[in-house]
């Protein structure tokens, strides 16, 4: 399974993250997300966390870092499909108050 | 009845980012026989990951070094986990433990590691000496199983 899958559709750049969002995991995807963000300059950056199995402050740092970069470009950041566990950490650190969290109904 | 130590483990591993997952696996393997609930296990895995990552990125600044992970389990279902390094040390521990304090803001660090460790443990102690290293001790008592 790829740690990162990027898709662009109608101004929405989706970065689907999978596996471990720890310091090791995020260092492998950070650059690719940023390259795509600067190239596409999307209206929305959608961070799809449905495949994330583990997250700690390094993963939260990745989200916040992209949020800062996106804001400079006028891009809105949306977090989608966090697991219950991921949501707990997002809430603990107040990220849920900065960004929209979208939970899709799984078919 | 005085609590007794029922199991212990000590591991030493290189300061490499792939060992963050290794440290989580070690602590999972140590805790599983104690039958923790899913939330407790996830909390401890996350706390260990925070402490080990701090050794890698702060203590050794992504260079070579040795990280020691120790765990002890007691008869009252309490667990003590110790993560230590021989890295740069922390000058002001009280300041370092404050939420949002980080010395690496440019590297996507949010200064939440110690706060997360604190909320996931009953007690967190940090002992550090500049130039000699840091020792982080987390204790948590697991819920009784019925
Ligand atoms: N083992 C260590 N050795 C040296 N300095 C440390 C160590 N652990 C923490 N620190 C110092 O304490 C500060 C706070 O640590 P904390 O884990 O709370 O935040 P962070 O690592 O900077 O960011 P985050 O954990 O959110 O990615 C660090 O910025 C660093 O200066
Ligand atoms: Mg940290």
Q: What is the pLDDT of residues B63-98, one digit of tens each?
A: 999 999 999 999 999 999 999 999 999 999 999 999
pLDDT band at A70 (very low <50, low <70, confident <90, very high): very high
Residue ranges around ligand 1 (CB below 6 Å): A 57-58, 61; B 50, 54-55, 58-59, 85, 87-90, 96, 101-104, 109-114, 134
Domain B5-141 fold = Heat Shock Protein 90 (3.30.565)
Give the DSSP H/E element, type plus range, for residue A16: strand A12-21
Is residue A35 a part of any domain in this protein? yes
Is residue A87 a part of any domain in this protein? yes
Interface pTM (ipTM) of the complex? 0.95
Is residue A85 a part of any domain in this protein? yes
Does residue A1 have a pLDDT over 60?
no
Residue pLDDT, tens place only, A93-103: 999 999 999 98
Distances B58 to A8, A78, B14, B38, B141 between C-alpha atoms, Å:
36, 30, 14, 30, 29
Contact (CB<8Å) B18/A89: no
Does residue A105 have a pLDDT over 70?
no
Instruction: Name the residue facing A23 among B42, B57, B119 (closest C-beta).
Output: B57
- Full-model pTM: 0.97
Residues A16-40 have a mean pLDDT of: 97
Q: What is the CATH number of the domain that holds A30?
A: 3.30.750.24
Is residue A107 a part of any domain in this protein? no
Question: What per-residue confidence (pLDDT) applies to B30?
Answer: 98
Long-range contacts, B119-127 (Cβ 8 Å, 24+): B119/A92, B120/B43, B120/B44, B120/B46, B120/B47, B121/B43, B121/B47, B122/B78, B126/B90, B126/B93, B126/B96, B126/B97, B127/B93
Is residue A49 a part of any domain in this protein? yes
Chain A partners of B102 at a C-beta cutoff of 8 Å? Answer: none
Contact (CB<8Å) B50/A56: yes
Nearest by Cα to B99 from A51, A60, A2, A65: A60
What range does the domain containing A80 cover?
Answer: 4-102
Q: How many domains does chain A have?
A: 1
**Burial of residue B37 (number of CB atoms within 10 Å: 0-12, 13-18, 19+):** exposed
């Amino acid at each position: 399974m790829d740690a990162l899958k990027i898709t662009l559709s109608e101004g929405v750049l989706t970065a689907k993250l999978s596996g471990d969002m720890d310091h090791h995991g995020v260092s492998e995807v950070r650059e690719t997300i940023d390259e795509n963000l600067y190239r596409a300059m999307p209206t929305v950056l959608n961070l799809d966390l449905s495949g994330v199995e583990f997250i700690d402050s390094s993963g939260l740092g990745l989200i916040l870092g992209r949020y800062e970069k996106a804001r400079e470009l006028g891009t809105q950041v949306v977090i989608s499909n966090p697991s219950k566990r991921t949501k707990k950490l997002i809430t603990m650190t107040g990220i849920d108050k900065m960004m929209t969290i979208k939970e899709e109904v799984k078919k | 009845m005085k609590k007794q130590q029922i199991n212990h483990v000590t591991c030493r591993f290189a300061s490499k980012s792939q060992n963050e997952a290794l440290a989580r696996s070690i602590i999972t393997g140590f805790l599983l026989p104690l039958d923790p609930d899913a939330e407790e296990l996830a909390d401890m895995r996350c706390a260990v990951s925070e402490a080990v990552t701090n050794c890698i990125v702060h203590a050794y600044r992504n260079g070579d070094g040795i990280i020691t992970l120790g765990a002890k389990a007691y008869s009252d279902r309490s667990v003590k986990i110790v993560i230590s390094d021989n890295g740069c040390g922390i000058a002001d521990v009280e300041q370092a433990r404050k939420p949002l304090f980080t010395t690496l803001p440019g590297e996507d660090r949010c200064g939440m590691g110690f706060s997360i460790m604190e909320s996931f443990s009953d007690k967190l102690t940090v002992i550090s000496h500049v130039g000699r290293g840091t020792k982080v001790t987390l204790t948590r008592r697991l819920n009784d199983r019925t």
